Chain A
Amino acid sequence: MAVSISRVPGRSDFHMQAPAKKGLPSEKILTGLVVAIVVILSILPMLRLVQEILAPGGRLSIAAVEAGLSNPSTWTATWNSLVVGFGGTILAVLFGTAVAILVSLTDVRGRSAFVLCFVTPLMIAPQVTALAWLQLFGPASPLLKLIGLAPPLGTRNPLYSAQGIILLLGIQYGPLVFLMVRAGLRKLPRELVEAGLAGGAGRWTVLRTIVLPLMTPSIIGASALVFVSCVGNFGIPAFLGIPANYLVLPTLIYQRLAGAGPSVLAEVAFLSVLIGAIAMAGIVAQDIISRRRDYRISTTSLPVEPFELGRYRVLAETIMWLIVCAILVLPLLGLFLTSLVPGYGIPLSLKTATLSNYSFVLFDHAAAKSAFLNSSVLSVTAAVFAVLVAVPLGYFIAWRVSWWTKILNLTVEMPYALPGVVLAIAALLLFLKPIPLINLQIYNTVWIILYAYLARFMVLALRPTVSGFHQIDRSLEEAAQVAGAGFMMRLRTIIFPLVAPVAVAGGLLIFMTALSELTVSALLWSSGSETIGVVIFSFEQGGDSSYAAAISMMTVALTFLVMLASNFLAPHLPNGVLPWRD
């Protein structure tokens, strides 16, 4: 029997065959396809934007730049952007780092439940956060009315201010800092802390002289990311700043475009590049700062043993859950109560509470109805497409490391790293005229939004997929190769099944982000292609907070459902793919 296995007839004649053709056609086709997709989604819009600034209409000119620079509103908005950018970043970093240290280094209980609650605001769209907070503090706040603390009608909502924007940006992005610092703290080898304690240093000294310095890379990295997010954020300054006429660059662009239409495209293109430049400056500053000293941790070991808080433990836990109340429970409660109010200023009671706002947006309002459909189709399509592209793309980036795969990776990161307005303007410029050759007009249709979503969110599926590939031993593919499987066969039977859970988790993140996305669609929507984010925004601008609240509640509920459903994937995922899982 053994012999029959080693000498199967018909096998040895293989060696007589002519050598196979060089290279693999299917692999080359797929490589070309993936590269083409990245070029179309990432490189093309950026090139178009740069061209518009430097050479509008094909001729080199700095007229657009000069026009932009001479307009005083540009300077006001830039200053305001920097104020809320730095303010929001400082608040988020202080808040997120403090909570990360409390949760990671002390023996507080109920950690995973807390992390889930604390990180959830990150999953909720900024404009929903803004709406929820507005409902909490305004003169019409049903919650304040219930406890008799509401200011008289007509009083200005205190959140309509720079301070309000900074506060909400800090709350929105504090969890982001928390996640990055917590990841850093988990990698901190416990010996480093124990050596400090053994050297006679107290806990506070160890925290100040060992833990925090070693966390510098995480904190700096988080600061840069948060700064870019704050500067590029549209939802919060749109809801809180526009009523107070406090404009930042993204809202200035929105107002210009909404007022004058495509005729001001060249001017707003300059503004969007200005935001892009500010964001890039933040990233470059991070790079310079983190190179100044060596913070590398060379050893791997068990994480730090938690400090015992003793009698302060209950106090710390109380603070933790008060934070959850403040940033999650109360705003959502405010939002929920508003969604039940029959009309502006009417006090909410068991008698007046109504579900008519829900039925109105679901069944009666045409734009809202189509927005639900549009946003669902857009986010599902974007998610599915991103997953399908992320697997081969991640494969090339993680396993076929070479100069061009590195460029590919950076290129995909760009549309997400830059503020969403930048991409939206680039897409407008790209598709204002029909696409040449095929003469297809996607401006003023839902397709231009889909294009922008694909470009912007691709990286959300790519990042976890690449980290998934890094965790899989390459020899699993090589074993299939030795077994005779060609590239497509390996992709289908080995590679895809192995990374599917991570890629799908990335797809879910895209779905959640895209579902109530506002920044991009606010600039790209047209009648008939409204998104949920746009409809919430226009209801709120028109004073119909109850309708806006009702739609927001539904998206929040859907987000929670997706988070819940994705937990089924959790056992198959590397750490950190689902941010809310501790």
Chain B
Amino acid sequence: MAGLTIDQVSKRFGEHEALSNVSIDVADGEFLAVLGPSGCGKTTLLRMVAGFEKVSGGRIVIGGQTMSSAEHSLPPEKRKVGIVFQNYALWPHMTVAENVGYSLKVAKVGRAERDRRVTEALSLVNLNGFGDRRPANLSGGQRQRVALARCLVSAPSLVLFDEPLANLDVHLRASMEDEFADFHKRTGTTIVYITHDQAEAMALADRIAVMDKGKLAQLAPPRELYREPANEMVASFISQGIILPADVLTAAESGHCRVRVLGQEVVVRCRPDERPRAGAKLCCRSPELEAVGAHEEGIPVAIKRVVYQGGSARVELSPVERPDLNLHIEQADPVTLEAGVEARVRIKSGWVIPEAGNAS
């Protein structure tokens, strides 16, 4: 009922196409993260859903009502969506309670009812008794919670988060992440959560929409995004996937096929419709590679750099035959590999990136 449909939405700023043909369906009560490098259009997307930007093409539908189309755009104040801003956007000239109760005052909710709901919202974010304080006297985490309370007091059916944790330190981030997850579980509100932090997106979202250069690169649950990236961009962006040229030798059989990669034949995961083809790409995660002994079967590699990271080392290496390719593996203590020497690496598994233009 309060789902969100982004239907072939485009946005042009003059000549520049910030978004092209993005379609995302968010189910009622779903937690969707929109993830992408800076400049990928994710903030533009959020601002269009909120109504701050008009769409150049396509439609945005919230809860069955068309909010934006090329011809018509409902102003933000009529959309009844909630936003938690990156910088909290608390009004410095109002107390915490006035901040939280603002939307109720705008909607001319009676004094008593307003006070009750403000108290309720503040207790929901564990800020009982903070009503009379000024935003300036709160810590970063407390401000974020006031912003959350302000957004949920009017019970929006859709809440947008604009990189809400970007301004918080690492420790606070973890606890606010828990709080957001908790908030979602309790209220069942539909959430669209913009972030550039993969770990945050993975930890919170039901599904993640990866954006790249104004296009939707992939929309999938976190695990699928990691294990079965739809294209090279997602494969390399998510957890620094390693992309290797490969030839598919056999058709898919129960989700696996045989490929030749760097002179080695390996059985890897693939889509059920995968057919034998040359020039395919294989995505490997660093745990899917391992260093092997000098006499075992493997790819000869030159080690370029070893970075000790405490408990294990990140080893960067290139195949001797293909010095243009960059691979990396983790080696746990005791770290034996060192830069400048040659070693052998074995590919244990991987995922065949589907052929372009053959999206499911």
Q: Which residues of A contact B (CB under 8 A)?
A: 1-3, 5-8, 11-12, 14-16, 19-20, 22, 24, 473, 475-476, 478-486, 489, 493-494, 497-498
Residues in B whose Cβ lies below 8 Å from that of A482: 50, 76-77, 79, 81-83, 103, 151
Complex alpha-carbon distance, A24 and B76, angstroms = 12
Which secondary structure characterizes the binding site on chain B? loop
Residues in B whose Cβ lies below 8 Å from that of A12: 1-2, 63, 157
Contact yes or no, B102 A480, CB < 8 A? yes
Residues in B whose Cβ lies below 8 Å from that of A16: 65
Complex alpha-carbon distance, A15 and B156, angstroms = 11
Surface stretch bound by A, among B184-192, B313-321, B351-359: B184-192
Q: How far is the CB of B117 from chain A (nearest CB, A)?
A: 7
Residues in B whose Cβ lies below 8 Å from that of A11: 80, 154-155, 157
Q: How far is the CB of A48 from chain B (nearest CB, A)?
A: 37
B121 at the A interface (CB under 8 A): yes
B272 at the A interface (CB under 8 A): no
Contact yes or no, B124 A6, CB < 8 A? no
Which secondary structure characterizes the binding site on chain A? helix
Whether A483 contacts B154 in the complex (CB less than 8 A), given A15-B64, A19-B72, A478-B76, comes out as: yes
Whether A24 contacts B75 in the complex (CB less than 8 A), given A5-B187, A8-B155, comes out as: yes
Residues in B whose Cβ lies below 8 Å from that of A484: 77-78, 80, 103, 106-107, 154
Closest to A472 in B: B92
Q: Supply 7 further A-B pairs (C-beta < 8 A) apart from A12-B157, A481-B77.
A: A12-B2, A15-B2, A475-B87, A478-B89, A479-B150, A482-B82, A484-B77
Residues in B whose Cβ lies below 8 Å from that of A22: 72
Number of interface residues of B (CB under 8 A): 48
Complex alpha-carbon distance, A494 and B106, angstroms = 12
B120 at the A interface (CB under 8 A): yes
B308 at the A interface (CB under 8 A): no
Contact yes or no, B120 A1, CB < 8 A? yes
Q: Which residues of B contact A (CB under 8 A)?
A: 1-2, 50-52, 62-66, 72, 74-83, 85-87, 89-93, 102-103, 106-107, 117, 120-121, 124, 150-155, 157, 186-189
Across the interface, B121 reaches (CB within 8 A) one of A5, A19, A473, A493, namely A5
Complex alpha-carbon distance, A481 and B53, angstroms = 13
Closest to A498 in B: B93
Residues in B whose Cβ lies below 8 Å from that of A20: 74-75, 78
Complex alpha-carbon distance, A453 and B260, angstroms = 83
Closest to A19 in B: B74
Closest to A22 in B: B72
Whether A479 contacts B85 in the complex (CB less than 8 A), given A6-B152, A484-B154, comes out as: yes
Contact yes or no, B155 A2, CB < 8 A? no
Contact yes or no, B77 A478, CB < 8 A? no
Contact yes or no, A483 B155, CB < 8 A? no
Contact yes or no, B63 A15, CB < 8 A? yes
Contact yes or no, A15 B65, CB < 8 A? yes
Residues in B whose Cβ lies below 8 Å from that of A1: 120, 124
Contact yes or no, B89 A475, CB < 8 A? yes
Across the interface, A489 reaches (CB within 8 A) one of B85, B87, B92, B106, namely B106
Closest to B62 in A: A15
Question: 3 tightest CB-CB pairs across the interface, nearest first?
Answer: A483-B103, A6-B187, A475-B89
Across the interface, B152 reaches (CB within 8 A) one of A5, A14, A486, namely A5
Of A8, A478, A489, A494, the most chain B CB neighbours within 10 A belong to A478
Of B1, B77, B107, the most chain A CB neighbours within 10 A belong to B77
Residues in A whose Cβ lies below 8 Å from that of B187: 2-3, 5-6
Pull 17 A–B residue pairs with CB atoms less than 8 Å apart, ordered by A. Answer: A5-B117, A8-B155, A11-B154, A15-B62, A19-B74, A22-B72, A473-B89, A475-B89, A476-B91, A478-B85, A480-B106, A481-B77, A484-B80, A485-B102, A489-B106, A498-B92, A498-B93
